[in-house]
A and B are shown apart, each in its own frame.
Chain A
Amino acid sequence: MATEQILDCPLDQVPDGPEYIEAAMRWHFSPETGSPFWLERAKTLGFDPREDVRTLDDLRRFPNVANELRDVRVDDLIPRGYGADADVVGVYESGGTTGPPKRVVLLRDWMDRLAHRTELDLRARGYPEDGHWLYLGPTGPHILGEMVRRQAARRGGIRFTIDIDPRWVKRCIAENRCDEAERYAEHLIDQSAHILRSQDVRVLVTTPPLLTRLARRDALVDLINSKIAAISWGGASMDPDTRYLLRTEVFPGVKLYGTYGSTMILGGVPERVTAPDEDIVIFDTFSPYIMFSVVDRETGEAVRYGDRGQVVMHHVSKSFLLPNNLERDLATCVAPPPGQMGDSVAEVGPLPVFDDQPVIEGVY
């Protein structure tokens, strides 16, 4: 089959994994179709992806180029194969936690593919078919807000939102201005309260810290329980006790599903549907487009199912290639469902921060 046919496979079909990866390598590393960024980068790889990369394991041969996305011209990220009039939806940026933000380009064909998949996921999880959405998460150059806007529109709803600049919060905290961060966060909750009170919103998309903060106000808890049918959380990890309390005590009648994603994979994947009494959040992937590998923190070797390790993310689509990107998350490696390339992940959390080292001086 021709390269483009494989990469443009119909939205309701899943391409064969190895054949797909080979096609993607041909696309991204052929002078006629590859992006200027990757064609230039290929010169120093030391291998020829068109010959040497055929499997998920082979993707791990790539260096992690994510840091180079901080400075690269976005024009150079668009594969030449799209021609002069590539349908650019937008340019999005990473959070900026570890330096200047990394930039990616969202092209229409990938967005449509992901939106189709997300629609199926929402149906499988019983999200309400109508009603509006409240997005209480990073806006501006952050991709999730845009994805949610389109998802709500696709289902005939409106996405309400408020301005949220997470980098300002991070900066306040880094500068030990915790009072400012606190004021800003309460300002966000105040604004979302107006929307929750006055509008017919049925889906809430937010982050675990903001969800915990919403739960501080009894009136908002009551509003959410009466109006909201489903809550999607993402953008940060949720510890299992918080999840348990939210499901059993705070929002007992509301569906609660996590999303695990990253700007660097141009999207995210939803929590696996499990039996209600199963006390674990598992994320399967959208392979062969979005794939995970869980690796040992020290050696970089693959860990066994059930073991913990650091998450490596891969994005392989016609629009963009970012393989072998080591994320700052730890996760338990979980066996994938049939047909999925790469690992599923559970119990995702940040790398431990050693901020409570014992203080020696003084008796306490």
Chain B
Amino acid sequence: MEEPILLDALGAGGPYHSRVRRTITDLTGTPVAELSLVPRLFVQRTMAALRGARTLPPHDRASALARAGRLFATGTVAGLPAEEYQHIVSRVSGMPIAVVRSATAGIGRRTRDAYRITRHARPQGAVDDWRDPLTCDGHAVWTRRGDVFAVHAAGNHPGVHSLWLQALALGYRVAVRPSRREPFTPHRLITALRESGFGEDQVVLLPTDYAVADDIIRDADLAMVYGGQEVVSKYGNDVNVLPQGPGRSKILLTGEDWKPHLGTIVDSVSAFGGTACVNATAVLVEGDPAPVAEAVAERLSAIPSLPPEDDGAVLPLQPVADARAIEKYLLDHMDGATPVLGGDGVVDELGDGSAVLRPAVFLVDRPDAPQTGLELSFPCVWFAPWSRADGIEPLRNTLVLTAITSDDALIDRLVEEPSIRNVYLGDTPTYLMPPWVPHDAYLGEFLMRTKGVIRT
């Protein structure tokens, strides 16, 4: 058997190989890595070191990020060539290899451009430096709200690690707690950042068990936490924590012939293996949703079950036991919905201990049915009828809403609704995330604020 990969914690004093470790297994239960877990004492000392560190000048940050992006995407980092890293992530997370490859390239670009991306969030009225001549007459200077930024990362998709880079670009020192599902991506990214010019006291990886996780947030100035509804409920009132909760992305089709838009719907449901917060969870159709649901189900049912490292793989995999738990959860929560696809189960075992999660399509009888908010980490979509009398209430609390409609007055209301964070119009799939378009607002809006400077 191959030696497991050793994923050390990356502390302010360098890599730390701990005595307490967690074994990371692939889909079949074979151990592939040992993740060092650090105790509370290590966390608090590391966070104190971040606080005491000095931030690199902006130009140095930008150029180090540019180098790190290239290294992450194509280089050999901590002994792992990019191809090997991608294979492991795919085998551990069950994410199709094509999705991992594209995520690798995407993280590379977002790292390279992180400094430039932050510029989109800066208010037009603000400058970066008090020395700017504009401050002589009084001006806004864009300043950090704190110095130390913490991230409780998720493991659903490597791309979650492309966002916090903006904090690093803006001069924060950053601590990342990786997910136990997939620590490889942040380990590789932080190693690449360190090899590219960021000091060990600028960006750290702190794998911890559950009990210590909150310490990282407590000792940071600001934090971003990925999780489910419970995370939103726990931190929703904390102005220093930005929860990244369920996306509950949706598509709205009004009065149009839906056939030309079928591809947009199918892609919105199944891109990234359906694992992202920007995947469509519900489709609301003006009129009868059944024909649309059936057409989508037909397209989704044609996707083959393949191991994740197969170039043609589209669907996500899980170890059989985890897949069965997800399936049970789904079937337990159908609650009167009419199955169109997957009603008798979604688990397709490959025989090696892993299982494909096959697509599921359901019909519910009203747009505010609770299932339309039921977001699962595979292609699973709920179709509901919608009429103008229902209004925009059933469309609230949505990360991305693709509205296929020609009703400008309705679009006005959607754009004005605060709980809909992105409105995409026409044949725009929900999963599009160009860097200049905010994701859940610009992260810079949370990290920075303007400060008045007048020089006399």
Contact = CB atoms under 8 A, between A and B. Distances in A.
Interface of A: 178, 212, 215-216, 239-242, 244-246, 249-250, 279, 355-356, 358-364
A212 B375 CA distance: 40
A359 B325 CA distance: 10
B44 A364 contact: no
B377 interface: yes
Given A215-B41, A241-B42, A364 B244 contact: yes
B376 to A, nearest CB: 7
A355 B276 CA distance: 25
Given A360-B376, A361-B228, A242 B39 contact: yes
Nearest to B38: A241
Contacts of A361: 228-229, 246, 329, 374-376
Given A212-B44, A215-B41, A241-B38, A362 B19 contact: no
B20 A359 contact: no
Nearest to B180: A356
Interface of B: 18-20, 38-42, 44-45, 48, 154-157, 160, 179-181, 209-211, 214, 226-231, 244-247, 275-277, 279, 322, 325-326, 329, 374-377
Nearest to B227: A364
Given A241-B19, A355-B211, A363 B40 contact: no
Q: Can you list the 10 inter-chain pairs with the closest CB atoms, starting with the nearest? A: A362-B228, A364-B154, A356-B210, A240-B19, A364-B226, A362-B246, A242-B39, A363-B156, A360-B329, A363-B377
Given A241-B39, A245-B45, A356-B209, A363 B325 contact: no
Contacts of B276: 363
A355 B214 CA distance: 14
- Grouping DSSP codes into helix (H, G, I), strand (E, B) and loop, the A interface class, with mixed when no group exceeds half, is loop
Contacts of A364: 154-156, 160, 179, 226-228, 231, 244-245, 277
Nearest to B327: A360
A282 B182 CA distance: 35
Contacts of A178: 214
A362 B245 contact: yes
A361 B322 CA distance: 12
Given A215-B44, A239-B20, A356-B209, A363 B38 contact: no
A359 B322 CA distance: 11
19 contacts: A178-B214, A216-B48, A239-B20, A241-B39, A242-B39, A245-B42, A250-B45, A279-B19, A356-B180, A356-B210, A358-B325, A359-B228, A359-B230, A361-B375, A362-B246, A363-B156, A363-B247, A363-B377, A364-B244
A242 B212 CA distance: 13
A336 B209 CA distance: 32
Contacts of B227: 359, 362, 364
Contacts of B230: 359
B274 to A, nearest CB: 8
Contacts of B38: 241
Contacts of A359: 227-228, 230
B118 to A, nearest CB: 24
A111 B85 CA distance: 61
A55 B325 CA distance: 49
Given A249-B45, A363-B375, A242 B229 contact: no
